[in-house]
Chain A
């Protein structure tokens, strides 16, 4: 049954607001807020890679060196009802290459808005709480940044619609686990040039069809005395798109796949309705993406209207 207190440790929400250098623009699996409770989050992340997958070939590039993506993520959530929560996120992204001549890019990236529904909840005889969440969301660029200057571009600039389903379990002993999967539909993006070559084909158009994306995640963690430590394995598969060719630049509709592991620790600061969190992630395997390592930290404040 819904509690009339702030939900604990909303910091589990943070990952989604920090796309970093990866095109992981999904909505989180997070928690559902009680009605009229809200949260506001700010987080900072630094993502770096010095090797990337050119297709399936892992390589370095002395004309890029290390690519650093710094992100300031803003996130908001609000419980419309006890079962339905509205969430939104908006990152500011800045890219920079340590070597070579390419100019770093910066700007507000994409606004994501989603509603999360707790579709089911229950409790086993042993006291384990279950719930199932359904999320529907949409995202769109907030600025006219170019997606045609990868890897310096701050995003891929497509409008997107997302559906996700997730289940979570929380035991009395302090353990918890999540599993979720989602599908993202993407609009075409428009380039500033009249033709491009990708996936072994010259397209005589400024419009680029963007293949759909599926993603999945599995989390296990432990929480006690205001501390919460989730560890997540997550992945993305792009359902189409071409590989980066040998010694070519990346392209917006490339088949960008990755599997990454993420760990974080969140702490509920006693006496204030504020959580602080730190974490990191590492891409384990990928295709047409950087082998990123990311560190992030932030705070989440909970309020009641």
Chain B
């Protein structure tokens, strides 16, 4: 055989291979890009916006700063210049990272923490399940299990602490009106956008202080990372030319003090009892049976205790329990009703003939174990709109606070109803139904996804009216994804959505 004829196809194959390798995407952009934040407005009146935990913006006092003409302040300016002159490449990258906005960056960090801790405990060999222990967060299972209700509450506490702290910050900033070092002294470089916002106390340090305290409480196993990030944010404030040491120190103290007030609320909000007891959920099952209904049973092997059966008793943000109850949806169709039979048949029909497009929708909104949960998904959606609107930190915090208060209140209300009715999942009534996403281990009615998403889309629609239709469509898709996944009946989805819309509207009124 001629060697030439051998080589040609091989050469062609080698070239094709190289083209294939070269033409393939091989790497991934791991995070949302956040350009340096040039806030579209100063929001000088934000100190007067409605408070939720603090009684007034002056509840935590901030002492008057030294004048920019003082020796003490000049020494601080000299220190900033010296630090800028000695900056390392890593410090420069850190300044750039935080210039994207502290509220948005911490929101990304928080989503990562939720995804890291959103794993249910593995069963013990004897078939029982260990309970995560806050006193021993590194054990198996890690603390916390950042399930959707836990996550909804966590996102809300961090967002509310940030929002309260920033409103107080704005109040003191405009009280004292001390400009940023890069504005005071031309020798200080502005390595991140430095606008007309007064620098004292530093909003970056407030965010670092308030957020780190909240996150340490909620994710004690990640204290080291949280502390490191907070220190990096404070360092970035100084190196960027936005704050001097006293701006940072006053901000850190204010942020921590506000967090302490929010933490006091968290310790008394009923979360400690949300896990309930075996007697509690057995009583719920017995009551459902007594009403003539088929009671929910865990479909996991070994049977797992239901997820946070007493979360419905946790304190909501914007309403009392009685106010929240006025928004409740009706009881679900009886498990022996014709409507239930129709809904069950629909789940069977849809899951047995699932299209690839329907599977994609189910997977898109799965948000199950190991993910940032449905509330995290809505934070993810919100982040791009907040970024594109170039919101000031306090305005961005307001959007996330409203969004996350709405989802927390939706989670509380939804969980109360789920455990009141203790309604079985479709696979319990028809074991031939197979799911294309993980089956949540708690009662079906109403759909948490639908409730969360309707509430979230309502809030986001209020802040970004031009995208309201898009948010509504996303919420609709999130809801129906649970039918495609085989884990919810249509009645769960429709009633959850209507309930979520009512809660969202109430939260919009409360935050305005």
Question: A-side interface residues toward B, CB under 8 Å?
Answer: 2, 35, 59, 62-63, 80-84, 86, 99-104, 115, 117, 136-138, 144, 146, 148-149, 159, 161, 163, 185-188, 191-197, 200-205, 207-209, 245-249
Contacts and interface: CB of A to CB of B under 8 A. Distances in A.
Contacts of B359: 146, 192
B6 interface: yes
Contacts of B329: none
A130 B256 CA distance: 74
B242 interface: no
14 contacts: A63-B300, A81-B6, A136-B17, A187-B26, A188-B27, A196-B371, A197-B372, A202-B112, A204-B30, A204-B108, A207-B28, A207-B29, A246-B119, A246-B122
A117 B14 CA distance: 12
Given A63-B301, A185-B21, A197-B115, A209 B363 contact: no
B24 A187 contact: yes
Interface string B105-148: 00010011001100111110000000000000000111000000
Tell me whether chain A's interface is mostly helix, strand or loop, or mixed: loop
Contacts of A196: 371
| A-B pairs, 7 with minimum CB distance | A103-B434, A187-B24, A197-B115, A202-B112, A62-B301, A192-B360, A247-B122
B228 to A, nearest CB: 15
Contacts of A136: 10, 13-14, 17
Contacts of A201: 30, 112
A191 B363 contact: yes
Contacts of A208: 28
B197 to A, nearest CB: 28
B369 interface: yes
A192 B13 CA distance: 32
Contacts of B141: 246-247
Contacts of B111: 195, 202, 204
Contacts of A200: 116
Contacts of A188: 24-28
A96 to B, nearest CB: 10
B436 interface: yes
Nearest to A83: B6
Most buried by B among A99, A136, A186, A202: A202
B438 interface: yes
Contacts of A159: 20, 24
Given A193-B365, A193-B367, A209-B27, 5 more contacts: A115-B9, A159-B20, A159-B24, A188-B24, A246-B119
Contacts of A249: 368-370, 438
Nearest to B3: A83
Among B370, B372, B377, B427, which residue has the most Cβ atoms of chain A within 10 A? B370
Given A209-B26, A209-B27, A249-B369, A202 B119 contact: no
